[in-house]
């Protein structure tokens, strides 16, 4: 898959020539690409189908289907549509389908675990300052947090025994570099940043 078809920050984990079908009757040749965020089927310079990991319901192997005149075992991906109301099925003919099924399961689990561990962050624009509130239940004390505020960006870095996380927050106003106070209580980190007036 060409770099231009990848989303910003997306990394390719696995890629191969493949065929794709919604019906198992007509097949489109192209490339199947597993990234760290989604599964993508493309033809040169054109994405045909992209399925985000959060939309995948199940990945199975189907036996005995004919693809371009050859009997193949292929991947069957059950996934939710864009609105989440409809469920679709896509079939992919690939070499080594067991490897693909395992790689998809592993990448999906990693991605969903990373998404679940991201803290919920809210930014409140008050008269002369910004207030950032972040849920961080894994945090034990304020000493485990490193904060850096520059211009309209706040970097929150947490380093605990089994949990390391860095979150960069775009702020709605410019703030004074290094001018902030922070508190931590009951799993909530609160940061007050002085705005440049």
CATH class of 3-117: mainly beta
How do residues 62-105 score in pLDDT, each as one tens digit? 886 666 666 778 899 999 887 778 899 999 989 899 999 999 99
State which fold the 121-195 domain adopts. Immunoglobulin-like (2.60.40)
Three-state secondary-structure class, residue 126: coil
* Long-range contacts at 27-32 (CB < 8 A, ≥ 24 apart): 27/67, 27/68, 27/93, 29/68, 31/1, 32/92, 32/94, 32/100
Domain parsing of the chain, residue ranges: 3-117, 121-195
| Reported confidence tier of residue 1, pLDDT bands at 50, 70, 90 | very low
Q: Is the pTM of this model over 0.75?
A: no
């Amino acid at each position: 898959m060409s770099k231009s078809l990848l989303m910003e920050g997306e990394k390719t984990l696995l890629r191969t020539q493949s065929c794709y079908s919604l019906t198992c009757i007509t097949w489109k040749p192209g490339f199947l690409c597993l990234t760290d965020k989604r599964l993508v089927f493309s033809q040169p310079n054109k994405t045909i189908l992209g399925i985000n990991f959060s939309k995948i319901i199940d990945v199975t192997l189907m036996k005995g289907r004919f693809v371009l005149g050859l009997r193949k075992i292929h991947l069957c991906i059950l996934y939710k549509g864009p609105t989440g109301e409809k469920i679709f099925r896509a079939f992919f003919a690939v070499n080594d389908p067991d490897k693909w099924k395992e790689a998809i399961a592993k990448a999906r689990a990693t991605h969903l675990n990373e998404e679940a561990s991201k803290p919920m962050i809210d930014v409140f624009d008050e008269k002369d300052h910004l207030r950032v509130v972040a849920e961080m239940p894994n945090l034990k004390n304020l000493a485990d947090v490193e904060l850096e505020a520059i211009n309209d960006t706040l970097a929150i870095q947490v380093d605990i025994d089994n949990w390391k996380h860095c979150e960069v927050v775009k702020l709605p106003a410019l703030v004074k570099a290094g001018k902030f106070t922070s508190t931590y209580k009951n799993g909530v980190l609160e940061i007050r940043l002085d705005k440049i007036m």
